[in-house]
């Protein structure tokens, strides 16, 4: 007897080979647009305030332009709104969901392949990364060496990120000036500094902005810095370090990390 075949599908979007988000993230954008508040938007979709901001940071960074921005005025001194690009993304996703539902309904009547095959496809197509910082942009410069190449990636107008990868990896990835690529950096690989920038350090990456969120923990805290273009960088530092540096909302800080700490990838 042929086993019952329950066909289900979930629509997701990818940017630069990285998971941009599925229906829940788009639902968050929609809720933020409706309520004008990330707090109320998070409640509407069942997310914590921090999880909602993490999702917004990831979407803004991967989009390469702001989808969600803070606005003056509103309850508590400021609200949160969608940009035109953010509104277009929500509308486009809703149209794709409608088309997907019709496609799945037709496919369910004549399923091709077994549930085991479908499960295998799901496993190999759902790769995710634990890296807190995910950036998407274009290669602006490549300096080739005998062993390693230095790759410069523009993640926002005026915001450059430098990575050191092997020459062989650069060739295998097909990296070239103006080609699209993404960069991953763990929050634990980032050092924070306050004061005038750029600092005289050997680290190639020094991204300066304003502290917009501090999430305390028992020992460590997560500090999020907003750069120009609503690009954000998250770092994990000890509570003692954050206090000794005088980190607080609105202060200027720099995220510092080595070029060798950056992982580079390209769209599949």
Q: What is the mean pLDDT of residues 169-189?
A: 91
Instruction: Among 124, 144, 175, identify where a domain stops.
Output: 124
Beta strand segments in the chain, E: 12-15, 18-22, 68-72, 78-82, 133-143, 148-156, 159-166, 180-185, 191-193, 205-216, 220-226, 232-238, 252-257, 263-265
Q: Does 251 share its domain with 161?
A: yes
Q: Does 51 share its domain with 155?
A: no
Condensed to tens digits (0 to 9), the pLDDT of residues 183-227 reads 999 999 999 998 766 677 888 899 999 999 999 988 999 999 999
Chain position carrying tokens 């997907």: 100
> Which among 208, 203, 207 is positioned nearest to 260, based on CA atoms?
203
Number of compact structural domains in the chain: 2
- Residues 1 and 102: their CA atoms lie apart, in Å, by 28
Angle between helices 23-35 and 38-45 (to 10 degrees): 140
Q: Does 160 share its domain with 261?
A: yes
Residue 7 belongs to some domain of the structure: no
Domain enclosing residue 260, as ranges? 133-265
Q: Does 20 share its domain with 96?
A: yes
Which of 43-57, 122-136, 156-170, 244-258 has the weakest average pLDDT? 122-136
Q: What is residue 203's predicted lDDT score, i.e. its pLDDT?
A: 86
Instruction: Among 100, 124, 148, identify where a domain stops.
Output: 124
Q: What is residue 140's predicted lDDT score, i.e. its pLDDT?
A: 95
Reply yes or no on whether the pLDDT at 10 is more than 60.
no
Q: What is residue 209's predicted lDDT score, i.e. its pLDDT?
A: 92
Q: Does 119 share its domain with 146?
A: no
Q: What is residue 131's predicted lDDT score, i.e. its pLDDT?
A: 77
> Which among 15, 13, 3, 6 is positioned nearest to 100, based on CA atoms?
13
CATH number at residue 70: 1.10.10.10
């Amino acid at each position: 007897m042929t086993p019952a075949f329950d066909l289900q599908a979930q629509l997701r979007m990818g940017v630069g080979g990285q998971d941009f988000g599925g229906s829940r993230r788009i639902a968050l954008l929609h809720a933020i647009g409706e309520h004008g508040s990330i707090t109320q938007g998070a409640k509407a979709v069942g997310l914590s305030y921090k999880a909602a901001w993490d999702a917004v940071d990831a979407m803004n960074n991967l989009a390469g332009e702001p989808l969600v921005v803070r606005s003056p005025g509103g309850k508590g001194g400021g609200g949160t709104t969608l940009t035109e690009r953010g509104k277009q993304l929500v509308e486009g996703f809703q149209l794709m969901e409608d088309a997907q539902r019709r496609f799945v309904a037709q496919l369910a009547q004549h399923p091709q392949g077994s549930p085991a095959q479908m499960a295998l496809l799901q496993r190999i197509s759902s790769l995710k990364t634990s890296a807190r910082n995910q950036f998407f942009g274009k290669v602006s410069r490549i300096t080739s060496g005998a062993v390693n190449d230095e790759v410069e990636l523009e993640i926002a107008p005026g915001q450059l990120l430098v990575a050191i990868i092997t020459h062989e990896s650069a060739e295998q990835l097909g990296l070239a000036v103006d080609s699209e690529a993404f960069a991953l950096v763990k929050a634990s690989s980032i050092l924070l500094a306050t004061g005038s920038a750029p600092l005289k350090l050997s680290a190639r990456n020094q991204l300066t902005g304003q502290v917009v969120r501090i999430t305390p923990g028992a020992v460590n805290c997560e500090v999020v810095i907003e750069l120009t273009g609503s690009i954000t960088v998250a770092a994990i530092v000890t509570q003692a370090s954050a206090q000794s540096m005088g980190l607080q909302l609105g202060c200027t800080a720099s995220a510092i990390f080595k070029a060798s700490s950056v992982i580079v990838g390209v769209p599949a």
